[in-house]
Structure 1
Amino acid sequence: MTMDTLLPQLGTLSVQIPVIWASAGVVLSLLVISAAVFVRIFQDRHDRDAFVTIVCVLALSSLLATVCLLPVDIALVSITTNNATGLKKEWADVETVARIVQQLKIVYYSLYSLDAAMCLLIIPFAYFWYEEWDVDTSAWQRIKGALKYSLCFVAFIFILMTVGLFIPVANDTKGHWDLDYFKKLLLANNGERILTFIVGALLCVGILPYVCYTAPGLALTPMVYIKSIPGASTASSSASVHEDLIFNRERQRMIEAKYGGSTTANFTSKDRREMESLQREERTLVRRERIAEEGGRKGRRFLGKLKALGRPLEIIFGIFVLVVSLSVVTSMLLTSVDKSKNSVCGNRCGYILAKINLFNPINWLFVTASNFFPADYVLALLLVLLLFVGSVVGAAFVGIRFLWVSLFKIQTGHTKPQGMLLATVILTLMVLAINYAITMIIAPQYAHYGGQKFCNNTLTGDLFLDCSQNPELIVFCSESAPQYICTPTVVSTFINRVTLNFPFFGAFAFWGQFAFIGVYTITLLIGLIKTPRLRNMSDDEDDEIDEEESLLRESSRGADWENIRGQSGRSTTYGINGRGSREDV
């Protein structure tokens, strides 16, 4: 090849790589802004801590950047192959490709290390830092207290590092494992072994909230737009609240008529509890009706008209999201079945698949779009956004729970700092599981090789043959393809390294996908039959809380909140230190 023909290709290289990294920088900036907005929207308006806010924003930015780096990874390895000839491009020699891969590894390993540090060290420290707050406590005392309680997490990290260093990894390369792709996955570096083990352990932990939050959230997200869910939409109309109030009072009259109008002392314990619950609900509905009838408060009347006009578009968008979510889950099911039947090594390597045998609609769409960068980048970001929003919706519906005990509620403007930190940890773990799902289940071909193709000239045995004249011989890359032509993405290599060297992590993550599909299906069927309720995100309740807090501030002006309550407690007057909670109200 002459210099005249080589220079344009080198020029293309010099332009493509900076453009790809520049687009990643723009997306990262948007992610940081989105993380800050997310924290701002959900954190309690009256109970904030600057350090907790900064930690939440940094953690969310890191976890989103980890997932959104995948399209950059794919784009960088995809430009090394000439799909018209099925060969590497002239400039993509061994050193150049190795340099690109090394740069990606540094970024990925840095992000994974930051995610692990956030989950296991920084967020626990921030949690105990906030818990150590007191009127008479200095900053140094809070730091010492937080460090004292964080020592258990430091010990846990040390245990994980020790186990990751000494636990035996899979070294058997019999059968199909003699492929070059699998040989490169076997660990030889102790540092990589430790990081791989820690990420694998966090991945398995993340599968649990991934199934419990992301699956129902993905099923309920389109329902938020298709159906009028109380609390998920804007303020309920006055007529709807009035109907609920009539039903409530009718139920109270039925219970009273059952006992001939006698006092509640003669009620059974069951009816007495129900009557008390109905009376509390009645007071709430009366306040809600009064707020709804005010109409013009905060421009609600104008917004209500806009919502009514945009309702058809909202339903259409909800149906579109439903179709996309069904396509995603269908792709997951097809790939999972394919892996369970055709994996080259089964549970010994976490069900790694040498090639796709069943058609996967999402994978096909992404592979096709990879030829038109940044179309695949946009699609990947939308997919990540859909799964992330589904996780948030699931957390809002379910709340932060330990078994059946509700610890914190995720609601706009009223999520406590402790709840924000725990939600950030859960989202970080879920994002690790989402990263696995996208790479291994939802779009495996795209996530492993992008749009790379090679010349499959097995008849002549000439692997360096130019197949431009025989396009039927040019096929998409797979694990069984020659690795000096097909360059796997760094994220797929890392995740496959986890599943191959520690098969129990891969098997757990793989079978967790079936649990995800099952929970999604059950939630979707229930959501189609019965409208779910999400009252903890209701704008009306926000107004009620604001109204009550305003009354409290007025009544407590010049007096301690502690004295009003008549008991000791952490919270003082809202006007004095800004600390308060909905529970105090």
Structure 2
Amino acid sequence: MALIQTSLIWVAYAVAIILLLAIATIFVFLYQTPRDRAASITTVCIFTTSVLLATVLLMPVDIALVSSTSLSSQGRKKDWATPDAVGSIVKTLEIVYYTLYSLDALLCLLVIPFTYFLYEEYDEDAAETGEQTFGQRVWGAFKYTIAFILFVVLLFLVGFFVPFAKKAKGDDRLDLEFFKHLLSENRGERALSFALGLLMLIGTLLYVLYTGAGLALLPVAMIKSAPSISAPTLAANTASQLETNRERQRQLEGRNEGRDNGLDSRDRRELEALIREERTLIRRERLAAESSGEDRHWLVKTWIKIEAVFRPLKLLGGLILLILALLVFVSMLITGIDKAKNSICGAHCGYILGHINIFQPINWIFVKSSKVFPIDYVLFLLLVLFFFSASVVGIATVGIRFLWLTIFKIRKGHTSPQALLMATVMLNLIVLAINYSIAMIVAPQYATFGPQTFCDRTPRHPGEQPDCSHDKSRIIPCTELSSNPAAKEVCTPSVISTFINRVTINFPFFGVVLFWAQFAFLGIYLIVFVTTLFKTPTLDQEQIDRDLEEEEEEGLLASTGRRFNATWQDITGRGRRDYGTSESN
């Protein structure tokens, strides 16, 4: 039974990884520009996106596996969950975590920079004439990547020799077995914890800005996703208007034949206006073709069809996500206040909370749903995906910026290779911050121990588990402050919570910044959410870009058609010509 349950969890994770590979492929092909597509960048982005998705989705697997060792209804370990069996599960999880985190760091700090510089080194003219070889490109990219290699070496050297937090080590309040285990003196673990903490700190800065905005914008993007006109209808109407426009130009040019003075001022102004309108209509025709998936990869075409099919459900999904986002906001705020007020050691250990003192809805939902496996596992999986999707929407909306300057824009079908690589690096770092936020703030008790409980009674015989079958009131949820010897035998913390707590206790500065950054995250969310109540920001990933929308506001590209008809025509791929929408006259 034990082998079946753990195997099912790992099988579900393996299936999820296969699906994630498909999602990553669609994501990359959907956003990259077809004109500048490079095989090396496409491969690196797909692989990196798959790895970071596998990393973020390992958290629910971690909690499910650790929780499977406990019989929560009786507050004891299952018969098969011997210390060796539990240790084997934890060790396997640690190996998977170390592998994924190492891959993330390697891809983020070395592989992606090298790929970026390799692409930048390409000179088309020199390559055609034979003046530039592939070896020269590799050497040129490697020279620039040396700086990143030195940074990685320096990062681990600093972590290897940096001293421990003496205050935390001498704090009597941390004199529990749970915290002693975290105050490790192994220099290898110290270096890894420092590197992880620094990358998590950088990722948190991005998380605050992009995920905070994306959490508010994602539900709105789904609610507002139905276009006012379908791509086929837009293309058909544009072709009709363009034909009418050019016919009118020919008429005016015909008047000019035989005139010595040319067109009069009225006809000249009209002709100039028609030429400007023609340029706009040609541009709109091209964008309509791109939106309908013409001349695109078959994956993009399929994705556009699927989006159109499920578009009517997006409104309901957007409303559900809006409620979920507000619930997450309230839960994070409650946990933040609880930690700031009731943390057992405050800044000395990164505001670790022994147990929840204030009712927290998200944590309560997970604990209650854990009574029926695998409801809690599925819900936690969806929560993690919600945060990740919000990060993608945030990056696509805000763009890649330095202070107030926009460096790159992320748009469907218009994202440059450099922008795609930088966005992938940002998502990599944000994933680390998501792990901290969900495990420590959104659902801290559940993410640490899951539904595990212990029997707060003295066993009848030494070496025997205590019995609470006749007194359910003595069954207590596992917490970090559990000092009962039975808790030590029953309660097994998740591997991800152990990693994060080790970082925040051994390096309190990271813990302090990570904790207070959550309030900045809530502030960004609140500002963007209130803004969307009065005006919905234009999302860069919509079918029509910002420039065309400005022209639409001027009346040139007025919207026609109904939302329902637009959705159906996007599915069928057939549009309806509307010959009465031309505004040339």
TM-score (norm 1): 0.78
Aligned counterparts, 1:206-221, within 5 A: 206-221=203-218
Aligned counterparts, 1:87-106, within 5 A: 87-106=76-95
Q: Does residue 498 of structure 1 match 2:523?
A: no
Question: For residue 192 of structure 2, what is the aligned residue in structure 1?
Answer: 195
Aligned counterparts, 1:387-402, within 5 A: 387-402=387-402
Aligned equivalents of 1:168 and 1:305: distance in 2? Answer: 57
Q: Displacement, 1:521?
A: 0.3
| Contact 1:210–1:516 (Cα < 8 Å) also in 2 | yes
| 2:66 paired residue among 50, 62, 77 | 77
Q: Displacement, 1:188?
A: 2.1
Question: For residue 154 of structure 1, what is the aligned residue in structure 2?
Answer: 149
* Structure 2: runs of 5+ lacking an equivalent: 242-272, 295-302, 549-585
| 2:29 paired residue among 40, 55, 59 | 40
Q: Displacement, 1:235?
A: 5.3
Question: Structure 1 residues 151 and 399, CA, compared in 2 at 3 Å: closer, same or farther?
Answer: same
Question: For residue 134 of structure 1, what is the aligned residue in structure 2?
Answer: 123
Question: For residue 428 of structure 1, what is the aligned residue in structure 2?
Answer: 428
Q: Displacement, 1:522?
A: 0.4
Question: Structure 1 residues 408 and 193, CA, compared in 2 at 3 Å: closer, same or farther?
Answer: same
Question: Structure 1 residues 350 and 461, CA, compared in 2 at 3 Å: closer, same or farther?
Answer: farther
Aligned equivalents of 1:146 and 1:77: distance in 2? Answer: 44
Q: Does residue 440 of structure 1 match 2:437?
A: no
Q: Which amino acid aligns with 1:64?
A: L
Q: Does residue 186 of structure 1 match 2:183?
A: yes
**3-state SS, counterpart of residue 412 of structure 1:** coil
Aligned counterparts, 1:189-338, within 5 A: 189-227=186-224, 286-287=281-282, 313-338=313-338
| Contact 2:45–2:420 (Cα < 8 Å) also in 1 | yes
Q: Does residue 118 of structure 1 match 2:100?
A: no
Q: Displacement, 1:290?
A: 6.2
Q: CA RMSD in A?
A: 3.4
Question: For residue 143 of structure 1, what is the aligned residue in structure 2?
Answer: 138
Question: For residue 468 of structure 1, what is the aligned residue in structure 2?
Answer: 469
**3-state SS, counterpart of residue 406 of structure 2:** strand
Question: Structure 1 residues 384 and 84, CA, compared in 2 at 3 Å: closer, same or farther?
Answer: closer
Aligned equivalents of 2:114 and 2:429: distance in 1? Answer: 17
Q: Displacement, 1:515?
A: 0.4
Q: Does residue 22 of structure 1 match 2:14?
A: no
Aligned equivalents of 1:90 and 1:226: distance in 2? Answer: 49
Question: Structure 1 residues 75 and 461, CA, compared in 2 at 3 Å: closer, same or farther?
Answer: same
Q: Displacement, 1:390?
A: 1.0
| 2:518 paired residue among 513, 519, 530 | 513
| Contact 1:237–1:292 (Cα < 8 Å) also in 2 | no
| Contact 2:225–2:314 (Cα < 8 Å) also in 1 | no
**3-state SS, counterpart of residue 164 of structure 2:** coil
Question: Structure 1 residues 394 and 307, CA, compared in 2 at 3 Å: closer, same or farther?
Answer: closer
| 2:491 paired residue among 465, 477, 486 | 486
Q: Displacement, 1:321?
A: 1.0
Aligned equivalents of 2:192 and 2:308: distance in 1? Answer: 52
Listed one character per residue, the Cα deviations across residues 443-487 of structure 1 (whole Å, up to 9, x for unaligned) are: 111110111110123899999420011011112111122222100
Percent of matched pairs sharing the same residue: 49
Listed one character per residue, the Cα deviations across residues 95-153 of structure 1 (whole Å, up to 9, x for unaligned) are: 11111111111111111111111111111111111111123222211111111000111
Question: Structure 1 residues 179 and 413, CA, compared in 2 at 3 Å: closer, same or farther?
Answer: same
Deviates more, 1:363-372 or 1:126-135: 363-372
Question: Structure 1 residues 396 and 146, CA, compared in 2 at 3 Å: closer, same or farther?
Answer: same
Aligned counterparts, 1:351-362, within 5 A: 351-362=351-362
Across the two proteins, how many residue pairs are aligned to each other? Answer: 493
Q: Which amino acid aligns with 1:109?
A: Y
Question: Structure 1 residues 173 and 79, CA, compared in 2 at 3 Å: closer, same or farther?
Answer: farther
Listed one character per residue, the Cα deviations across residues 318-338 of structure 1 (whole Å, up to 9, x for unaligned) are: 211100111111111111111
Aligned equivalents of 1:53 and 1:309: distance in 2? Answer: 27
Question: Structure 1 residues 491 and 226, CA, compared in 2 at 3 Å: closer, same or farther?
Answer: same
| 1:528 paired residue among 516, 524, 533 | 533
TM-score (norm 2): 0.78
Q: Which amino acid aligns with 2:214?
A: G
**3-state SS, counterpart of residue 407 of structure 1:** strand
Q: Which amino acid aligns with 1:194?
A: A
* Structure 1: runs of 5+ lacking an equivalent: 1-11, 246-277, 545-585
Q: Does residue 170 of structure 1 match 2:165?
A: yes
Q: Which amino acid aligns with 1:211?
A: V
| Contact 2:208–2:517 (Cα < 8 Å) also in 1 | yes
Aligned equivalents of 1:125 and 1:531: distance in 2? Answer: 38
Q: Displacement, 1:495?
A: 0.6
| Contact 2:370–2:451 (Cα < 8 Å) also in 1 | yes
Question: Structure 1 residues 395 and 454, CA, compared in 2 at 3 Å: closer, same or farther?
Answer: same
Listed one character per residue, the Cα deviations across residues 324-374 of structure 1 (whole Å, up to 9, x for unaligned) are: 111111111111111111111111111111101112211122222233333
Q: Which amino acid aligns with 2:211?
A: T
**3-state SS, counterpart of residue 488 of structure 2:** coil
| Contact 2:232–2:292 (Cα < 8 Å) also in 1 | no
Q: Does residue 537 of structure 1 match 2:541?
A: yes
| Contact 2:451–2:477 (Cα < 8 Å) also in 1 | yes
